[in-house]
Homo-oligomer: A and B are copies of this chain.
Amino acid sequence: MSIITLLTDFGSFYPAQMKGVILSKLEGKDVTFVDIAHDIPPQDVRAGAFALLSSASFFPTGTIHIAVVDPGVGTKRRGLVVESGGQLFVGPDNGLLIPAARSLGQIKSYEIALRFEASNTFHGRDIFAPVAALLAAGQSAASMGPRTRPKTLSFGEPVKTDKGIELSVIYVDRFGNLVLNMRKLPVFEVRLKGIKLKRVRTYAEGRRIEPLITLGSHGFAEIAVNQGNAAEAFCLKAGDRIELEEI
């Protein structure tokens, strides 16, 4: 049995076309699809990279991940297969796959050199899905094309400032929690936009509507409002820079 995950910014019905292509190519071979997310903010490669990074390590050896957040579709940007920790990642060469692949160990990247009859706007269906089907059918990553050095993507590092630290928001979940580019809690008490954030181990330690900072289940610091919505309360969205002031 093959496990194939899909992560895109496509919303509905385009992901189903990708699954149809894979099922057609696999001709009855058993496959389990897992949708990681299809509601990545349109063309937000960093948000997609974060969601894939958060999820990949929970899947078993042999899993094939297709990820497509692809503002460069139809240009000369290359397609990649990346191998790491016994899992395979298929998608555009724009950094999307790399944090997840690196989190599993040493990576090997291959440029997709096979040629497909492809539309100019939907390589997820016309290139990446058929490549995933070939991999699920047992072909090696190396057989897809030559070794290459992929484009990387960084969530950036916390920057020390006069007053505290500057960070960026890399993801906003549906609770309005703000995921930050920092893999630990600040060691000092902090304020955001003048409002103190209570450092907690779990949301339930906060009072109702109290702003919190905690280490999320994904390993990144996260600002939340207990039983509320931090993104709305602080008027912040993915991509925004923030400063946490030391109290």
Contacts and interface: CB of A to CB of B under 8 A. Distances in A.
Interface of A: 1, 3, 5, 7, 9-14, 16-17, 19-21, 23-24, 27-28, 30-39, 42-43, 51, 54-55, 58-60, 63, 71-75, 119-122, 125-126, 173-175, 201-205, 214, 216-217, 227
13 contacts: A1-B28, A12-B35, A16-B37, A16-B55, A17-B55, A20-B58, A23-B59, A33-B34, A42-B175, A71-B203, A75-B202, A75-B204, A121-B202
A197 B220 CA distance: 43
Nearest to A38: B12
B13 A58 contact: no
A58 B19 CA distance: 8
A121 B214 contact: yes
B59 A37 contact: no
Given A16-B36, A42-B174, A203 B5 contact: no
Given A60-B24, A174-B11, A72 B120 contact: no
A58 B22 CA distance: 9
Contacts of A36: 12-13, 16
B54 A37 contact: no
User: How many copies, total?
Assistant: 3
Given A13-B36, A20-B63, A74-B201, 14 more contacts: A9-B174, A12-B37, A16-B55, A17-B54, A20-B34, A20-B58, A23-B59, A24-B59, A32-B33, A43-B227, A74-B205, A120-B202, A121-B214, A121-B216
B32 A71 contact: no
A10 B204 contact: no
A173 B11 contact: yes
B204 A55 contact: no
A30 B32 CA distance: 9
A9 B3 CA distance: 24
A32 B23 CA distance: 10
Contacts of A31: 32
B59 A20 contact: yes
Nearest to A29: B1
A58 B1 contact: no
